[in-house]
Structure 1
Amino acid sequence: MKRRTFIISASLSLLLGFGNVVAHAQNSADGTVRIAPLQATNLLTLARQSGQADKHLKTIGGKIDWKASMPAYAPTAEVLRGGSADIGSGSVTSFLTAAANNKDLVIFAVEKDDGKTQGIVANGASGIKSIPDLVGKKIAVNKGGTGEYLLRLALARHNISYDKVTPVYLGPTEGATAFAQGHVDAWAVWEQFFAAGQAVPGAKVIAWAGDIGSLNRIVHVTTRDFAQRNPKLLKAVYDALAVEAQAIKNDPSLIAALNIKEGMPKDVAAILRKVQPQALAPADDAFLKELDEVATFYVSQGLTPQKIDVRGLTVNVLNPQAKQ
C-alpha cells in the first residue's frame, strides 16, 4: 500500500501543481529560473531535495521558481514550449521523439551512469527468464520513449522482430500499477520506477540497459531562447548539478536518504542504494555522436519517418563557442 501511495502522490502533485505551471512566461532579467523537474530520480531532483540547487543559484544572485514535477518528458516539453518553464529533464529517447518536428529545445547537461538505472523487469508469474522469452508476451512501455527504446534495442540484439511481442503503451505510473497487478508480463522502464518493479515479489531483471548497449542518458533541457538570453543562469544550474553529483559520489547513501524523505518505500530505496551514483557531463561532441547513433536506431526501427538531424540540438555550457 505504501508503494502505491508513493506513486499516486507523485501523480497528484502533478495535477495539483499544474495550475502553477501554466502561468505566463516570465522575463529572466531578475535572475529567476523556472524549473519543472521530473518525478524520476536524477541530479536535478536530488539537487532540489538537498537544497543545493537553490543555494547555488543564490550565490550568483539568482533564484529558482520550482514548478510542478512532471511524470515524463512529453509533458515537460509542452511546458517548456508553452513558455511556462525554462528548464526540465528527460531522456535522450523522449527528447528525440519530441524533437522530430520541432528543434526549439536543446540539451545542456547529460547524466552518465553504470547502465543499471534502466532496464526490463519481468513479472514472477510470467515465466520470463531471458529476452527471447518475451516473444508472445505483453510488455508495458512508454510509447516513443525510454521503455519502447529499451524493448526494441533488447529485441534487436537477439534478432527478434518487434511484432513478436505485444507492447502495452502506458506511462510510468500506469505501468507500475499494471505490473504490480500482473496485467502485463514485463515492464521496460527507468530510475525509481525500475527499482519499484524490482521490488515486486518474484520480479526478475532480464535486461540491464548497459548490457544491451543503451545510450539512453538522462538529459537536462532548456529552450533555445533561454540558452541564448541567459547563458550565466544556465551555467549556474549546470554548476549546481555538478556540485550535487560530487556530493552523491562522496556519499552515495544520500540518494536513498533523500528519496525516503520524499516518501519512497524503503525496499525501493534499498534497490537504488545498490546503483552507482550518476556523473555529470556537458552536452559536448562526444555526446552529440551518441545522440546521432540513437537517431539512427530510431529511423531504422520506424520510430521516426526520417533520421533526425541532431546538429544544433545541444549547447555546451563549458564551451559556449563550440559549434554543435
Structure 2
Amino acid sequence: MKLPRSLRTTVAPALLALTALAALTACGTSEADSGGKGSGSGSTVAVRIPDPGNSGVLALGKKDGSLDKALAKAGAKVKWTGSAGPFAPAAQAMNADQLDIATGSITSGITSLAQRPGFKFFTAVAPDAAGEGILVRNGSGIGSVADLVGKKVAVNQGGTGEYLLLKALAKAGIPADKVNRVYLRPDQTAAVFNAGKVDAWAVWATYAVAEIGSGKAHFVADGAAIGSDNYSLNAVRTEFAEQHPKVVKALYRYLHEAGAKEKRNPAAYLNVFTDVGPTAVTGKAKAVQIEFTAQGGTVEPIGPQDTERFKAVAAFYAEQKVTKAEVDVAAHLLDVGKLT
C-alpha cells in the first residue's frame, strides 16, 4: 500500500506512485524474459506477479509449488516481481509492461481506469463486510459516524479509505466537507493514528487487523454498516490476456479453488514462511484475521450484478468529485468463462 509532511498536506500522488512503482518493479523483467510477445509456441510463459509476502493463497502457492503446478498445465510459470502493494503503482507497472497480474479494490481500480489503462479486471471477491471500515481508538468518544464531524480522518486518496469515509458520511446524511480528510499512504498511517494525530482511520483488513488485534481500536462502522460495494479484483495486463487467455483462465481456477480452501481453513494460509517478525500475524491479531477471512468471499467470475455495483461505485466517485467524470468500468472487464 515514511512519514507525512503534514497532516493537512496531501502527499504528492505522482511521487508516491513512482516510489511504490520503483519498489514493485525493482525485479522487473523485459517482455522477452516474461515469455510474452515473440514467445515461441513451445516456450513457457512467465506470469509476472507481485511477491505475496507471508500470508494468503499466493504465499502458500509459492511455498508448496501448487501455483506453478496449476499454471504448468497452461504452459506457464510464475515470475515473482517486486512486492505486493497499492494498486495504483501496480496499474502503472502493468501499463509499462513490467507486471502481468495485480490485485486491488474496485475503488482504487476506478481511479486507475480514469487514466490510460493497459489492464482489465477478470475476477471479483465480494465486499469485505467485516474487515474494512472506520477505525477509532478505544475511549476516543467517537461512537458513531455522526461523531466524525469536525474530526480528522486518515484515508488513502482515491482508494478504499476515501471511498469508505465518503460512503459512510453519505449514508449518515453528513456533507463530506464536515470532516477533515487527511491523505496518507496506508503504511504511513498506523503511527499517526496511534499517536492521536488523526481521530479515525478509514481502512481495510490488511491494516485493520493489527490495530484491532492490539485491543486498542475498533470499527465505529464496518463495511456492512457502511453499505460498502468495495469489491476486491484481480487485474491482468490487456496484451497478456489477449496473448495467453488459457493462462489467465488457469490462474482464475487456481485462485477460486484455493480461496475456497482458505475460507474453510484460514489459519493454514497465515504465516506461510515465518511465524515471527514484522510479517507474522500473532496473538489476538491472528484470531481477528482468521475471523475476517472465514466471513469473507471467494474469487469468482465477474457477473452482471457485480458490473452494476461497479457502475454504482463509479457514479458515486464522480458525484463526490473523486474522479472528473464517471468511469466506464464495464469496458475494462473480462469474462473469464469465455476465455479459451
Q: Does the alignment reach a TM-score above 0.5?
A: yes
What is the rounded CA distance, in whole Å, between the counterparts of 2:273 and 2:106 in structure 1? 24
Instruction: Please give the TM-score of this superposition, normalised by the length of structure 2.
Output: 0.83
Residue aligning to 1:263: 280
What is the rounded CA distance, in whole Å, between the counterparts of 1:259 and 1:111 in structure 2? 25
Residue aligning to 2:5: none
Residue aligning to 2:35: 27
Alignment partner of 1:214 is 2:228 = yes
Residue identity matched to 2:35? N
Using the aligned pairs only, state the percent identity. 32
Contact 2:106 2:231 in 1 (8 A): yes
Residue aligning to 1:234: 248
Residue by residue, what CA displacement relative to the aligned partner does 1:267-294 show, whole Å, maximum 9, x if unpaired?
Answer: 3222111122431211222221111111
What is the rounded CA distance, in whole Å, between the counterparts of 1:278 and 1:47 in structure 2? 19
> Judging changes above 3 Å, is the alpha-carbon distance between structure 1 residues 302 and 113 closer, same or farther for their aligned structure 2 residues?
closer
64, 83, 93: which one aligns with 2:78:
64
Residue by residue, what CA displacement relative to the aligned partner does 1:183-219 show, whole Å, maximum 9, x if unpaired?
Answer: 2111111122011221344312111112211111111
Residue aligning to 2:124: 110
What is the rounded CA distance, in whole Å, between the counterparts of 1:50 and 1:165 in structure 2? 47
229, 232, 239: which one aligns with 1:225:
239
Contact 2:129 2:296 in 1 (8 A): no
Stretch moving more, 243-252 or 184-193: 243-252
What is the rounded CA distance, in whole Å, between the counterparts of 1:47 and 1:137 in structure 2? 43
289, 295, 299: which one aligns with 2:308:
289
- Gaps (5+ residues) in structure 2? 1-18
Residue identity matched to 2:328? D
Residue aligning to 1:182: 196
> Judging changes above 3 Å, is the alpha-carbon distance between structure 1 residues 32 and 249 closer, same or farther for their aligned structure 2 residues?
same
Residue by residue, what CA displacement relative to the aligned partner does 1:292-324 show, whole Å, maximum 9, x if unpaired?
Answer: 111111111111111112232100111249xxx
Residue by residue, what CA displacement relative to the aligned partner does 1:118-170 show, whole Å, maximum 9, x if unpaired?
Answer: 11110225321111111111111100000000000000001111111111111
Contact 1:72 1:90 in 2 (8 A): yes
Q: What does 1:1-324 align with in structure 2 at a 5 Å threshold?
A: 18-21=25-28, 23-25=29-31, 26-28=34-36, 29=39, 30-36=44-50, 43-45=57-59, 47-48=61-62, 51-112=65-126, 115-258=129-272, 261=275, 262-275=279-292, 276-320=295-339
Contact 1:40 1:192 in 2 (8 A): no
What is the rounded CA distance, in whole Å, between the counterparts of 1:40 and 1:139 in structure 2? 29
- Gaps (5+ residues) in structure 1? 1-11
> Judging changes above 3 Å, is the alpha-carbon distance between structure 1 residues 99 and 140 closer, same or farther for their aligned structure 2 residues?
same
Residue identity matched to 1:108? F
Residue by residue, what CA displacement relative to the aligned partner does 1:213-271 show, whole Å, maximum 9, x if unpaired?
Answer: 11111110011111111100111111110121121133232244548645233332221
Q: SS state of the match for residue 126, structure 1? A: coil
What is the rounded CA distance, in whole Å, between the counterparts of 2:91 and 2:54 in structure 1? 16
What is the rounded CA distance, in whole Å, between the counterparts of 1:13 and 1:164 in structure 2? 31
Number of equivalences? 309
Instruction: Please give the TM-score of this superposition, normalised by the length of structure 1.
Output: 0.87
Residue by residue, what CA displacement relative to the aligned partner does 1:42-64 show, whole Å, maximum 9, x if unpaired?
Answer: 64455445643223213443210
Residue identity matched to 1:24? S
Task: State the shift of 1:82 in Å.
Answer: 1.1
What is the rounded CA distance, in whole Å, between the counterparts of 2:184 and 2:209 in structure 1? 17
Q: SS state of the match for residue 170, structure 2? A: helix
Contact 2:210 2:285 in 1 (8 A): yes
Task: State the shift of 1:182 in Å.
Answer: 2.2
